[in-house]
Structures are given as C-alpha cells and as structure tokens.
Structure 1
Amino acid sequence: MQKIKLSKAQTAHIVSKIKAYFNDELHQERGGFEAEFLIDFFAQEIGPYFYNQGLTDAHTLFAEKSEELGYLIQELENPVN
C-alpha cells in the first residue's frame, strides 16, 4: 500500500478536527504539529484496516453487480428451437 498523501487543505481540515476533538472531548489542547503526528500515526497504524475494509466492500459490491449483470445477459438470450 502506498503512503497516503493529503493535500495541504485536507491536512489543515483534519488538524482542526483533531484539535477540536481533543479540546472538546478530552479538555486538552493540542498544537497543529502534534495533530499532524497523530494523522501520520493513524494513517500508518490504523489506515490499513480501513483500506482493507474498503477493498472488501468494493469486492462484495463488484460480485453482486456481476451476478446481476449475468442475469441481465441471460434475459437477452433468444429462444432456440
């Protein structure tokens, strides 16, 4: 899996969310630098679980749609005498 690359805007948005969470829920202040380290940690340590779940979900959807497509193709068959 490749390392996740976030844009500066995405990083800034996530940093603000992390800082707000720590402040509101844990009553702790975190700086932007600390929040960026948390982003990197979560991406590296937890990200693969979410990535793998996304692949599993995509595979399940693909299998379902492939089965539907098979039925649709069968419906197009012409009767043979």
Structure 2
Amino acid sequence: MKEIKLSKTQKEMMVSKVKTYFADNLDQDIGAFDAEFLIDFFAAELGGHYYNQGLADAQHVFNEKIEEIGYIIQELEKPESI
C-alpha cells in the first residue's frame, strides 16, 4: 500500500476536527501539533484497514458493472439463422 498523503488543506481540516472532538467529547484541549501527530498515527497504523475496505467496495461495484455490461451485450445479439 502506498503511503497515505494528505494535502495541507485536508490536514488542517482534520486537525480542526480532532481538536473539536477532544474539546467536545473528552473535555481536553490539545494543540495542533498533537492533533496532527494523532492523525499521522491513525493513518499509518489504521489507514490500511480503511484503504482495503475502499478497494473491496470498488471491486464490488466494478464486478456489478461488468455483469451489467454482459447483459447489455447479450441484448445486442442478433438471432442466427441456419
């Protein structure tokens, strides 16, 4: 799996959400550095699980579409006369 890379904007948004979560749910104020460190930890240690689920979901949709295309092709077939 490739390393999960986030844009600066994505990281800033995530840091804000982590800080808000800690303040609202855990009554703890954490700094941006700590929030970013936590995000990096989750990405490295848990990101693969979410990535793999995303791949499995994409594979499922792909297989459904391939099956659908198969039916469309069958509908295009012309009767053969012998």
TM-score surpassing 0.5? yes
State the TM-score, normalized to the length of structure 1.
0.97
CA distance in 1 between partners of 2:7 and 2:60 (Å): 30
* Identity value in percent: 60
What RMSD in Å do the two structures reach over aligned CA positions?
Answer: 0.6
Q: Which residue of 1 aligns with 2:64?
A: 64
2:54 is matched by which residue type in structure 1?
A: G
1:27 is matched by which residue type in structure 2?
A: D
* Aligned-residue offset at 1:4: 1.3
Q: Which residue of 1 aligns with 2:28?
A: 28
State the TM-score, normalized to the length of structure 2.
0.96
Runs of 4+ aligned structure 1 residues displaced above 6 Å come to: none
* Aligned-residue offset at 1:42: 0.5
